[in-house]
A and B are shown apart, each in its own frame.
Chain A
Amino acid sequence: MEKRGKLIIVEGIDGSGKSTQLHLLEKWLAFKGVNVFKSEWNSSEMVKEITSKGKKKGLLTPTTFSLLHATDFADRYERNISPLLRAGYFVLADRFVYTAFARDIVRGCNPAWVKKVYDFAVKPDVAFYFKVPVDIAVDRILIGRPKLKYYEAGMDMNLSNDPYESYRIFQGRIIEQYDSLAESEGFTIIDGTLNIEEQQNIVRKKIMPLLENLKPTRIRTRR
């Protein structure tokens, strides 16, 4: 695929603040007149309905869980991410293939298998990893005692009978996976305990060089 646009992705566990940072980055890029498109994990309309049905019934195995999320990703990739990158867009992805690697591997899928399933995806130009100690992130999420969903809490893995405890253990294991991916995948690690503004500054500084050769897209008209 010849790619003219840029792919920027954020990773991190729930409550790491990655979505907030991506949102601010999106606003900044749009303000600068850059063509931006944002894509969120598990958001393909076509696939979501089925995934959520399966989740409600608690029917998913690690393999089907993995494959349904891969289907969702492929749909967004084939219809949005890939064509928009070719068209020169800045594509911002809230979670990318690394989320699948981390979650699926924690659930017991074979790492080599999962990585191969997703190997059609291009490597991001920048991959931010918002690193937060598990307790801080989990506290941010659990502060309102929200009702955790079955798979969200990792209840399918029999980590604990208590959803909150299960969630904590699950998130801890995901962090281990992220940490082991960080080096091999060249993540830009951001300290997610810093102030929102501080973090955003670091993010923007990292993105700045990508904007240098960017010419405003002008629609050419025939006279």
Chain B
Amino acid sequence: MTRDKYKNLGTRTVEFYGHGIKNLQDTEVKGRLIVIEGPDASGRSTQIQSITTRLEADGHAVLNTGLKRSELVGKGILEAKENFSLGKKTLALYYAADFADQFEYKIIPALQAGYIVLADRYIYTLIARNLARGLDKTWCHNLYGFAIKPDIVFYLDVEPTVLIHRVFQKNSTLDYYESGADMGLSNDMYESFLIYQKRVSQEFYLMQKRYGLIPINGNRSMLEIHNDLQKRIDSFLRRVGHK
């Protein structure tokens, strides 16, 4: 078994942020975990789509994951949020359960099978939201100690004032939670959105070093952002010799 490790240079043992998960401790993976983070309407999904198309065209097997998509609780979270009745710790744990389910049933198996997992957000958005809502810092980071470190993480950094226009282009209304309306920041939703997004972006800024997030200027056009991301991903895959 150990011999194979040297033969197959791409095989690595997963590395966890915290204590990890007992039965996954020595899990060996061949795939790569690439994460794109960024607020709603930052153009994340569009980018993920075009990158997926490109990677598949290059012959890579790609799996997309995102938040609120687990078999187990994905739908439950959506329903619960409609009620506006959940407390912030409850919601934080709910999201963690959703993430854990996808993490164990989708991300890990795909990485073992040699897929490139392209994650439409990972633990950082969840941590940033929780921190912006005033939850204890150590608690927030510990919660996701079971997650593995991705190979590379990009963060689409968009000015809140630019972001709000993209939101209106997309939906023409502001989302309750994405505006931090649950936090009583302001009676004015517009105002609240700007304050909240600013806070979240500050939390991302503070996490940059700790988690090695690569900021990507998200104020540019979709095409410019795409070219930038694609170039970085291509050079990353070349660097690690992922074929």
Contact = CB atoms under 8 A, between A and B. Distances in A.
A54 interface: yes
A117 B90 contact: no
A120 B104 contact: no
Contact of A74 (B21, B71, B93, B100): B93
B4 interface: no
A108 B100 CA distance: 15
Given A79-B87, A113-B19, A117-B143, A59 B101 contact: yes
B135 to A, nearest CB: 8
B113 interface: no
A61 B73 CA distance: 13
A49 to B, nearest CB: 7
A98 B130 CA distance: 25
A37 interface: no
A46 B86 contact: yes
A70 B93 contact: yes
B19 A71 contact: no
B139 interface: yes
- Interface range on chain A: under 10, 10 to 19, 20 to 34, or 35 or more? 20 to 34
Interface string A52-69: 011000011111100110
A68 B21 CA distance: 16
Contacts of B85: 46, 79
A62 B133 CA distance: 27
Given A68-B73, A117-B142, A120-B139, A77 B20 contact: no
B99 to A, nearest CB: 9
Interface size classification for chain B: 20 to 34
B90 A78 contact: yes
Nearest to B80: A46
Given A75-B90, A112-B19, 4 more contacts: A50-B73, A59-B72, A64-B97, A74-B92
16 contacts: A46-B80, A47-B76, A59-B105, A60-B72, A63-B21, A64-B72, A68-B97, A74-B89, A74-B90, A78-B86, A78-B89, A79-B87, A112-B19, A113-B146, A116-B139, A120-B139
Interface string A104-118: 000011101100110
Contacts of A46: 80, 83, 85-86, 90
B188 interface: no
Given A70-B93, A108-B22, A63 B100 contact: yes
Contacts of B101: 59, 61, 64
Contacts of B145: 110, 113
Interface string B167-182: 0000000000000000
Given A50-B73, A59-B101, A64-B72, A119 B96 contact: no
A61 B104 contact: yes
B221 interface: no
| Dominant secondary structure at the A interface | helix
Interface in A20-76: 46-47, 49-50, 53-54, 59-64, 67-68, 70-71, 74-75
Contacts of A116: 138-139, 142-143
Contact of A63 (B83, B90, B138, B146): B146
Contacts of B94: 47, 71
Q: Which 9 A-B pairs rank lowest in CB-CB distance, beginning with the nearest?
A: A78-B87, A110-B19, A67-B97, A71-B93, A50-B76, A108-B22, A74-B90, A116-B142, A74-B89
Interface string B137-155: 0110011011000000000
Contacts of A49: 76
Interface in A85-115: 108-110, 112-113
Given A59-B72, A74-B89, A109 B22 contact: yes
A84 to B, nearest CB: 14
A120 B89 contact: yes
Contacts of B58: none
